[in-house]
Structure 1
Amino acid sequence: MKISIFTVFLFLSLISTAQSSKSTILINGKVTAITDGDTFKLLTQDSILHRVRIANIDCSERKQPFSKRAKQFTSNAVFGKMIKVEVLNKDRYGRLIGLVFYNDSLTLNHELVKHGLAWHYVKYSKDTILQSLEDKARKDKIGLWQDPNSIPPWEWRANKKKK
């Protein structure tokens, strides 16, 4: 009897471990449209069009300073190119949330923050690389950090809802 209980326990532990470990989903495709600095459309080889939201960052909203520059940066970096997206999640709008890799070695999430065109979205991320890139951009007053009173997009959206 002890052996069978142990066997059942071991089996359940293995199942639990297998279910809790997330498998990485990589999607390859061509960027067909840029919505804004942190959102774009990706067409895969099987002709599925995905809306992709760049994970762990937040770019300025349309009427905020640096919004157009962030959108242009994203466009220059990935529009019309074949890229890879490591899908982390899906948001409430059905967009894929992911890490975006392009030009063989660059990560768009990092590049936007590094160039002062996005905030590290700490509410949803504990990425230490993004935080150090933001800290350096702030210190060097790069991009949106030229303005000491720049408003994070999530605060800007919240203020806009109150009006």
Structure 2
Amino acid sequence: MTKNYFIYLLILATCLSFTSSDKLPNEFFAKVIGVKDGDTIEILFKKDPIIIRLEHIDCPEKKQPFGQKAKQFTSDFCFGKKVKVINKGKYDRYRRLIATIEYEGKSLNKELVRNGYGLHFKKYSKDSSYTILEEQAKLQKKGMWSQEKLIEPWLFRKRKTSKSKKTN
């Protein structure tokens, strides 16, 4: 192989591996094309689909009480709409962009907590405004707070994982 051929291949590989999501702006607008669950959506930005994990919160899993209602709330709030995505360029272990979603001046992240469909994910967030919203929803017995006994989504996932390890 010649030196020029090697350089050409290197440049080509670099170009092919780049997508617009590699260097996203901290704030941008994009259309919501999918709702995976209460705290995970898919957007289309410059023809690239991007999975977003909502920052600061955790919603019930689909198989938990209020999991489907959280997904429906998210869908009603933003599906098919052009939303503002605010992020710090961070991704979770599943390569989802961690972000806040706004539509018409309202934060989806905060609206989920305010309405009892999301919890403040204190393990990953120090934003006390979410704790206040959660306490208000709890006092008003909104959404998941209307249940006798609530299992936090992170404990539900942990319990599900430990059960599957026991069966193997």
User: How far apart, in 1, do the equivalents of 2:33 and 2:81 lie?
Assistant: 8
Correspondence 1:123-142 to 2 at 5 A: 123-142=123-142
Paired residues for 1:105-116 under 5 Å: 105-116=105-116
Asked whether 1:147 is paired with 2:147, we answer yes
Could you list the per-position Cα deviations for residues 43-72 of structure 1 after superposition, in whole angstroms to 9, with x for gaps in the alignment? 01x211100010010000011000111000
For structure 2, the 5+ residue unaligned runs are: 1-24, 164-168
TM-score (norm 2): 0.80
Shift of 1:38: 0.5
Question: SS in structure 1 opposite 2:29?
Answer: strand
Superposition pairs of residues 65-80 of structure 1, within 5 angstroms: 65-80=65-80
What's the RMSD between the two structures over aligned residues?
Answer: 1.0
1:109 Cα deviation from its structure 2 partner: 0.6
| 1:27 to partner: Cα distance | 2.5
CA distance in structure 2 between the partners assigned to 1:158 and 1:73 by the alignment: 25
**CA distance, structure 1, for counterparts of residue 103 and residue 148 of structure 2:** 31
Q: Which runs of 4+ in 1 moved over 6 A?
A: none
In 2: Cα distance, 1:31 partner to 1:157 partner: 26
Matches of residues 6-155 of structure 1 in structure 2 within 5 Å?
Answer: 25-44=26-45, 46-88=46-88, 89-103=90-104, 105-155=105-155
For the residues of structure 1 that align with 2:49 and 2:120, how far apart are their CA atoms? Answer: 27
Structure 2 CA distance for aligned equivalents of residues 161 and 30 of structure 1: 34
**Aligned residue pairs: how many?**
138
Once the two structures are aligned, what percentage of the paired residues are identical? 42
Counterpart CA distance in 1 for 2:124 and 2:109 is 13
Alpha-carbon distance in 2 for matches of 1:92, 1:27: 23
Local SS of the residue matching 1:33 = strand
Structure 1 Cα separation of the partners of residues 162 and 73 of structure 2: 31
**Shift in Å at residue 148 of structure 1?**
3.6
| Match in the other structure for 1:5 | none
- One-letter code aligned to 2:79: F
What letter is aligned with 2:41?
Answer: F
- Separation in 2, partners of 1:122, 1:149: 20
Query: Which SS does the other structure have where 1:75 is aligned?
Result: helix
Equivalent residue letter for 2:103: Y
**3-state SS in 1 of match to 2:100:** strand
In 2, Cα distance between the equivalents of 1:31 and 1:107?
14
Task: Could you tell me which runs of 5 or more consecutive residues in structure 1 were left unpaired when the two chains were aligned.
Answer: 1-23
